[in-house]
Amino acid sequence: EYERRKKETQDIEGADMPDIRSRVKSMQGVDKRMRVDQEALLHQSMLNIQTLDEIRDVAIAFMNENHQTELADVVMQHHEATRQTAEKANAWMNGSFRIKKGRLLDFTSSGMQIHATIVRTNFFGKETEEEQVVQVNYLNNKTCDDADSFKMRIIELLQSCNLYRSTASVLRMPIGSRGWSI
């Protein structure tokens, strides 16, 4: 029975599709795919937007768990007063001023508030730690108003610090993506 049905379908498919391209298309299922109404898809994605208030706890927990050293690099690169202090201190003795880690405290539509742990090393090698809370604005004064734009602002900051591997892991943050997941 199986062989008979197989032969019948081969005969039918062979008769209808003399061209190899159409045969391949039928095997791939191109004819069976459904067309997507782009307007409906756009409308559906706009319904799933998460505001900054909705994602705040999840985003802060994710960044603090996975990206403390990267947040430290962002502070060093993009907070003007900290960068100038580090340049002056490290010009005399390289490594005497460094940021050990950064913790995201809060974020707004215009920037992030980061708690930085700064380590100062004196001439004799004694280290002292100090805590500092800094405000880091997003690049080019951009703003964010939803989860996806927040991810993009974080990625832009990390890319500006040449932290390309970390930018990929930010995409795993369980927020936004308008219903899509990686």
Q: How many distinct structural domains can be found in the chain? A: 1
Residues contacting 103, CB < 8 A, separation 6+: 64, 68, 71, 114, 115
Query: Is pTM, for the whole model, over 0.85?
Result: no
Identity of residue 147: A
* pLDDT, averaged across the chain: 78
pLDDT at 116 over 70: yes
| Contact in structure between 154 and 164 (CB atoms under 8 Å) | no
The answer to whether residue 1 is domain-embedded is no
In a domain, 6, yes or no: no
**pLDDT of 65 over the 80 cut:** yes
> pLDDT tens digit string along 78-106?
888 888 888 887 777 777 788 889 999 99
In the beta sheet, which residues pair with residue 137? 111
Integer distance in angstroms from the first to the last C-alpha of the chain?
Answer: 44
CATH number at residue 126: 3.20.180.10
pLDDT digits (tens, 9 = 90+) for 123-182: 777 888 889 999 999 988 898 888 888 898 999 999 999 888 888 888 888 887 655 545
Please give the residue range of the domain that contains residue 137. 55-177
